[in-house]
Structure 1
Amino acid sequence: MTEVTERFFESLPARAPEILGGLADGTLQIDLTTDNMTEHWLVRMRPGSVNVSRNRGPADAIWYSSTALFDRLVTGEAQGVAAVLRNESTFSGNVVLFLAFRRFFPDPPGTRDPREVARQQAGRQP
């Protein structure tokens, strides 16, 4: 397990109140594979809270990814939905959990909210 992924999972409970709304209610198992080894993370999401463990268990959804891809996701260098659509990772089960979980990933480096850019430009005009 890489340090960046470990820190990402450790940060989830503190960030959950800000990120998770009412739609996320269930358990997502994340299986990260490197060579012939798979590490498991079980993420129990409820509105405003997350519980993370290193277990396998009953889950409403399972997301399979390589460890290398997941590292790119947690640093904003890749996007979760795009990775699934390109078949770089796979997902089964309750898609709402996947869509809610991806909100924990950062935006790509250099990305700016277009609304903020428009506000800044409007403020500069005479």
Structure 2
Amino acid sequence: MKVTVCRKEHFNAAHRLYNPAWSDEHNTEVFGPCANVNYHGHNYELVVRVTGEVDPDTGYVYDMKLLSTLIKTEILDTFDHRNLNLDTTDFRNLIPTAENIAVIIWQRLRPHLAAPLGLSVTLFETERNFVEYHG
């Protein structure tokens, strides 16, 4: 019997979508206002899902308090109220699109979970725009 437990979190971050191999004009053509040299911000909503067998001794798939602490330590403490392009090493050479942010979040969390557990990340950049990554 597999069950999925979910934890929802929130963080604010600024970013700029910009490919340094392109001209400013081409960046603006592709990314529009998201290529603004002065950056822009989002109020991100993050949903982390962990799937696995229910432990008969605890009744848990994964302790939600541990999941909350893991997300705080690995994600919120690093990304919240930061400029993703300038303040994090994760995006020094990677365009911080919602897609790439979701993959990085997954990569930061995955090593802390037991191998049999499934992990997926849903990242809402806006109320209507979101991405999912399942690894």
Structure of higher RCO (CA pairs closer than 8 Å, 6+ residues apart): 2
Which of the two has greater helix per residue?
1
Give the structure-2-normalised TM-score: 0.25
Give the structure-1-normalised TM-score: 0.26
